[in-house]
């Protein structure tokens, strides 16, 4: 009989909100009809325990306290109106529009659902947050990795998680992590936390988690850093392996290599259909330059020139029977502000 | 959550909603609360049995439905005339979104976003701190983003200089802006491209120059926006199903490729441990050719032969420019 149960719970909420003092169980039993109709004390106890549990499930803050100073063992219940209700809130039209846009932000199911129920509460409070500005921007954020939902739970509750993680080199290993934050950057999701196996802080990409995420129920032992900047941390992984190698001089064909020109310190236009530009080289610049094929020629430094030649040669004369044989060592991560497809993903959680 | 518990939650929000929206119809309420009209009728019936403790008839609420469906709530129980506080999840969903938007470089109405954020933070208390554990950041160049939003708001035509990486070419075009979207970490401008006579999506980080013209924007009335629920806008990755498949063998250090390039298939290489074998479908083979050049020896084209030859020829041509340093 859900209707009568709903009725009982709503009346219980009203009763506990209406009272300034703690209400004893006995008083509740005489006040609320469904409790009064319980055939036995045990039946009432069971019903009341379940009801309390369900109010807590709704996030309704049920306070327990002693009814009077004289009888310390007499316990009662109440709901503090200030804790229960949404505080008074006034929004300017542009603030309401901003919240309207924010409510459409998530594509991820549980957050989208949470956003619309939040919006409903604001509307119920009489705030006009329904319509977003017609010429507004449209954010659409997805979080599809199966790991997202359980990790979010773990991050809220601060409990240790366990999962299998595949590194960029293909190695898969079990990890046990105290989760700190979940961050999306450049469209990818990262978990930052304390890796108990490595005994150090680590950043993990959610799309490289290969197993279901297990919430252990254990509380973290390590202190969460006061300030966490995952973006800086992810960047640090990238920068560590690819420092600034100084200037490089290139010849680029007229009308080509736009991204190189955009980042160039100087561009000298030539007469022969080729321009000379100077860029800052990083460890991964050779790969980036090879992409432009015959439209770019490295003049200086010799090491970069040799690296580009080695790459091109590996493709032009593939003596090797399989990939990887011709180039020694990994390609370090990119640091260019070019289109992301040509960025190598950042080496995280190694 | 059990049916009864979610009904309790709905009723606790319904009472303040009906008070702040007097005369709302059953249909409107059904839509707003995401339930059907029958359920709204049931909910209203429950309200007749709820009210202040006392056991007198005039303690109970009265939810009348007029002909035409307008609802009038009388004798609302004073303790529940305010809606419930936002739950942690609800607060997180809105606060993280507002923070993310307020941080986009060059976003219009940042001031409104900041003010809304501050008000919600103070209304949600502890949950506002939990919300700091989740964050989303978008990349955008403020100058371009600002101009795109302004053109959209003022309904003006824009002239774009747009870089097409697969052709390594900067193109020029006039676009009637239709929408600015933030997707998968990036900002996009969607609009009617007059040169191609079609709706196109432009990545803001590839816009080399943007000029907001005095001419009004006039996208055709029937121009339809693209489905932005896709991870990347369709036209950015428009790939015909008849485009040829290219098969690549990737060494361990190139295993990242399928995470950045949409692949038709990805499998462990049957020959070499730790290697991957992937197939990509690209109408625009230049894009894959550039990828293979970039990877140097870390990728090998397994087929089609014609494509493999083209990549090899490009590399040979590039080598020729190095003369004596790179004997063929």
Distance from CA of A298 to the nearest CA of B (A): 8
Q: How far is CA A43 from the centre of its chain?
A: 46
Strand B169-183 versus strand A137-140 pairing type? parallel
Q: Are A316 and A281 in contact (CB under 8 A)?
A: no
For residue B16, which of B108, B80, B95 has the smallest C-alpha distance? Answer: B80
Confidence of residue A84 (pLDDT cuts 50, 70, 90): very high
In this predicted structure, the answer to whether residue A45 has a pLDDT above a threshold of 60 is: yes
- Please check whether residue A123 touches B, CB under 8 A: yes
In this predicted structure, the answer to whether residue A229 has a pLDDT above a threshold of 90 is: no
Q: Are residues A120 and A194 in the same domain?
A: no
Contact assignment for B94 to A305 by CB distance below 8 Å: no
Helix (H) or strand (E) holding A8: helix A2-18
Closest residue, chain A, to B262 (C-alpha) = A341
Distance from CA of B241 to the nearest CA of A (A): 21
Contact assignment for B12 to A331 by CB distance below 8 Å: no
Give domain status of residue A171, yes or no. yes
Q: Are residues A194 and A212 in the same domain?
A: yes
In this predicted structure, the answer to whether residue B229 has a pLDDT above a threshold of 80 is: no
In this predicted structure, the answer to whether residue A328 has a pLDDT above a threshold of 60 is: no
ipTM: 0.81
Q: Which of B206 and A341 is assigned the larger pLDDT?
A: B206
- Please check whether residue A38 touches B, CB under 8 A: no
How much is the average pLDDT of A215-227? Answer: 88
Distance from CA of B196 to the nearest CA of A (A): 22
Give domain status of residue A338, yes or no. no
Residues of chain A with Cβ-Cβ distance to B132 below 8 Å are: 181
Q: Are residues A234 and A153 in the same domain?
A: yes
Task: Please report the beta strands in B51-130, taking only residues with DSSP state E, as ranges in sequence order.
Answer: 62-65, 71-74
Distance from CA of A132 to the nearest CA of B (A): 12
Buried b / exposed e along B25-62 (16+ C-beta atoms within 10 A): bbebbbebbebeeebbeebbebbebbbbbeeeeeebbe
Range of the domain at A54: 2-84
Give domain status of residue A261, yes or no. yes
Q: Are residues A113 and A78 in the same domain?
A: no
Give domain status of residue A76, yes or no. yes
Question: What total of structural domains would you count in chain A?
Answer: 4
How much is the average pLDDT of B49-65? Answer: 84
Give domain status of residue A133, yes or no. yes
Q: Which of A243 and A329 is assigned the larger pLDDT?
A: A243
Q: Are residues A49 and A112 in the same domain?
A: no
What is the tens place of the pLDDT at every residue in A8-20?
999 999 999 999 8
Strand A75-78 versus strand A137-140 pairing type? unpaired
For residue A346, which of A234, A244, A263 has the smallest C-alpha distance? Answer: A234
For residue A21, which of A71, A86, A91, A56 has the smallest C-alpha distance? Answer: A71
Q: Are residues A272 and A252 in the same domain?
A: yes
Q: Are residues A252 and A305 in the same domain?
A: yes
Q: Are residues A301 and A267 in the same domain?
A: yes
pTM: 0.80
The enclosing domain of A307 has a CATH number of: 3.30.70
Q: Are B279 and B289 in contact (CB under 8 A)?
A: no
Contact assignment for A294 to B314 by CB distance below 8 Å: yes
The pLDDT of residue A12 is 95
Contact assignment for B325 to A305 by CB distance below 8 Å: yes
Q: Are residues A294 and A252 in the same domain?
A: yes
Q: Are residues A26 and A53 in the same domain?
A: yes
Share of chain B above pLDDT 70, in %: 92
Q: Is A179 exposed, middle or buried (0-12, 13-18, 19+ CB in 10 A)?
A: buried
Give domain status of residue A46, yes or no. yes
The enclosing domain of A12 has a CATH number of: 1.10.10
Q: Are residues A296 and A327 in the same domain?
A: yes
List the structure tokens of B74.
Answer: 């009388």
Q: Are residues A253 and A310 in the same domain?
A: yes
What is the tens place of the pLDDT at every residue in A256-304?
888 888 878 888 888 888 999 998 888 778 888 998 989 999 998 888 9
What gap in Å lies between CA B100 and CA A18, rounded to an integer? Answer: 40
Q: Are B112 and A94 in contact (CB under 8 A)?
A: yes
Give domain status of residue A125, yes or no. yes
Which residues, in sequence order, are bridge partners of residue A326?
none
Report the alpha-carbon angle A82-A88-A92, nearest 5. Answer: 160
Q: Which of B272 and B77 is assigned the larger pLDDT?
A: B77
Q: Are B245 and B253 in contact (CB under 8 A)?
A: no
Give domain status of residue A349, yes or no. no
In this predicted structure, the answer to whether residue B227 has a pLDDT above a threshold of 80 is: no
Taking residue B144's Cβ as centre, other Cβ atoms within 10 Å add up to 22
Sign of CA dihedral B272, B276, B279, B284: negative
Residue B143 backbone phi and psi in degrees, to 5: -65, -45
Which residue has 């009888």 as its token pair?
A: A71
The pLDDT of residue A159 is 95
Q: Are B310 and B244 in contact (CB under 8 A)?
A: no
- Please check whether residue A60 touches B, CB under 8 A: yes
């Amino acid at each position: 009989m859900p209707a009568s149960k709903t009725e009982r719970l709503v009346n219980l909420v009203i009763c506990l909100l209406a009272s300034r003092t703690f209400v004893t169980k006995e008083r509740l039993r005489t006040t609320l009809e469904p409790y009064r109709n319980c055939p036995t004390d045990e039946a009432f106890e069971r019903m009341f325990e379940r009801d309390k549990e369900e109010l807590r499930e709704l996030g309704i803050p049920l306070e327990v306290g002693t009814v009077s100073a004289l009888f310390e063992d007499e316990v009662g219940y109440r709901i503090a109106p200030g804790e229960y209700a949404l505080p008074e809130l006034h929004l300017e039209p542009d603030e309401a529009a901003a919240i309207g846009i924010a409510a459409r932000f998530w594509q991820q199911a549980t957050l989208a659902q949470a956003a619309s129920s939040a919006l409903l509460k604001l509307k119920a409070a009489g705030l006009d947050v329904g319509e977003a500005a017609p010429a507004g921007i449209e954010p659409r954020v997805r979080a599809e990795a199966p790991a997202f939902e359980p990790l979010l739970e773990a991050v809220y509750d601060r409990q240790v998680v366990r999962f299998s993680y595949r590194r960029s080199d293909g190695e898969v290993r079990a990890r046990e992590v105290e989760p700190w934050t979940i961050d999306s950057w450049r469209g990818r999701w990262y978990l930052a936390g304390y890796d108990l196996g490595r005994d150090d802080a680590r950043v993990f990409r959610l799309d490289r988690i290969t197993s279901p995420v297990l919430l252990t129920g254990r509380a973290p032992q390590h202190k969460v850093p006061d300030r966490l900047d995952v973006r800086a941390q992810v960047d640090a992984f990238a920068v560590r392996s690819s420092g600034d190698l100084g200037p490089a001089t290139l010849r680029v064909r007229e009308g080509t290599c736009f991204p190189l020109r955009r980042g160039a310190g100087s561009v000298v236009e030539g007469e022969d259909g080729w321009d000379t530009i100077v860029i800052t080289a990083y460890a991964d610049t050779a790969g980036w330059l090879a992409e432009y094929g015959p439209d770019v020629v490295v003049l200086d430094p010799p090491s970069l020139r040799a690296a580009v030649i080695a790459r091109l040669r590996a493709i032009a004369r593939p003596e090797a029977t399989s990939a990887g044989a011709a180039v020694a060592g990994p390609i370090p991560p990119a640091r260019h502000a070019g289109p992301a497809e040509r960025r190598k993903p950042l080496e995280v959680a190694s | 959550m059990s049916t009864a518990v979610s009904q309790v939650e709905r009723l606790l929000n319904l009472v303040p909603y009906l008070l702040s929206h007097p005369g709302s119809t059953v249909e409107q309420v059904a839509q707003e609360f995401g339930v059907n009209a029958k359920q709204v009728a049931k909910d209203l019936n429950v309200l007749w049995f709820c009210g202040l403790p006392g056991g007198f008839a005039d303690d109970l609420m009265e939810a009348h439905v007029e002909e035409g469906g307008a609802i009038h709530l009388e004798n609302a129980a004073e303790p529940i005339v305010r809606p419930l506080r936002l739950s942690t999840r609800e607060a997180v969903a809105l606060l993280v979104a507002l923070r993310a938007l307020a941080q986009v470089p060059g976003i219009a109405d940042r001031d409104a976003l900041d003010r809304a954020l501050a008000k919600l933070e103070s209304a949600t208390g502890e949950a506002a701190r939990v919300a700091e554990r989740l964050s989303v950041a978008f990349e955008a160049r403020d100058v371009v983003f600002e101009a795109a939003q302004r053109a959209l708001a003022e309904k003006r035509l824009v002239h774009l200089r747009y870089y097409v990486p697969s052709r390594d070419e900067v193109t020029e075009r006039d676009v009637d802006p239709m929408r600015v979207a933030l997707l998968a970490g990036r900002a996009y401008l969607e609009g009617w491209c007059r040169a191609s006579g079609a709706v196109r999506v432009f990545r803001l980080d590839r816009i080399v120059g943007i000029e907001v013209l005095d001419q009004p924007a006039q996208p055709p009335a029937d121009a339809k926006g693209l489905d932005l629920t896709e991870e990347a806008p369709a036209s950015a990755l428009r790939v015909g199903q008849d485009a040829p498949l290219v098969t690549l063998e990737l060494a361990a250090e190139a295993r990242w490729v399928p995470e950045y390039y949409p692949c038709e298939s990805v499998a462990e290489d049957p020959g070499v441990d730790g290697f991957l074998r992937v197939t990509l479908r690209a109408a625009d083979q230049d894009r894959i050719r550039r990828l293979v050049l970039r990877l140097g020896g870390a990728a090998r084209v397994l087929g089609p032969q014609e494509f493999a030859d083209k990549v090899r020829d490009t590399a040979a041509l590039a080598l020729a420019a190095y003369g004596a340093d790179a004997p063929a």
